[in-house]
Amino acid sequence: MFRKVSFAMVVCLLLILPVSNVAAFDLPGAKKDTGVKVDGDALSKRSASVVSKVRLATISFAEALINVEEAVGNKEEAEKLRGLLENVKTNKNDENGLKALVAEENKATTEMANIDFKSSMNEEKAKENLGSAILKIGIGVIVDGIAVKDATVLLKDAQAAVKQVSFSAVGQIKDVISTAQFVVTEIPTQVSSIQKVSGKLVDYAKVKRIPIKSVTQKMASDAMMKEE
């Protein structure tokens, strides 16, 4: 009897109370309104900005590595890099293509770590392109450093946001998290590997007295040309 009366009272209350008052009760499994508004589009734009930086750095690395591969006579690897590079340049929104190029660059730098440039490098080709290759690696390292810094902050913000958004917006935020995680975990390793190769190239260039322009010198030179 008590259960029947209690149930009847609850039904009456639900019918009498306004909808706003009913919504105030905590329903099991429902997300509470924290009052924090998550801008998923803003996070996606930040993600796109990070990818753009990584893309620029990866292109710079690829162009440098192609020159080095050709100078040591590894035409097959040079062509692989060139094909992936053209795809990244043509399809700006192809993140999978970008990741493929990053992977191939990592493979190339791992192999270069075991190459003796003094005995393998074509000196004439080195004189033509080595200075430019070292400069492009330097530019890529700087741009990737900025990308990793931005991605680290973005990852933290997106992980906090995914707990606050509606179910319909979770997919968008998870895409941002996936991109940020890739940059934070993969790019620092790539930068470290390619810097080691760059060090070997610089040593070779010094021995062969090949002029090397630093990133700072390049920026100063570009600024002077713009003023003229």
| DSSP assignments along 53-121, one per residue | HHHHHHHHHHHHHHHHHHHTT-HHHHHHHHHHHHHHHH-TT-HHHHHHHHHHHHHHHHHHTT--HHHH-
- Cα of first residue to Cα of last residue in the chain, in angstroms, is 95
The H or E element that residue 41 is part of is helix 40-71
What pLDDT was estimated at residue 222? 54
* Domain chopping of the chain, boundaries: 40-211
- Confirm if 183 and 52 have CB atoms less than 8 A apart: no
What pLDDT was estimated at residue 166? 75
Is the whole model's pTM more than 0.85, yes or no?
Answer: no
Rounded-to-integer distance, Cα 11 and Cα 13, Å: 5
Residue position matching structure tokens 């162009």: 63
What pLDDT was estimated at residue 202? 94
Q: What is the mean pLDDT of each run of 10 residues along the chain (228 residues)?
A: 47 43 38 60 95 97 97 96 97 94 96 93 93 94 97 96 81 94 96 95 93 61 45
What pLDDT was estimated at residue 221? 46
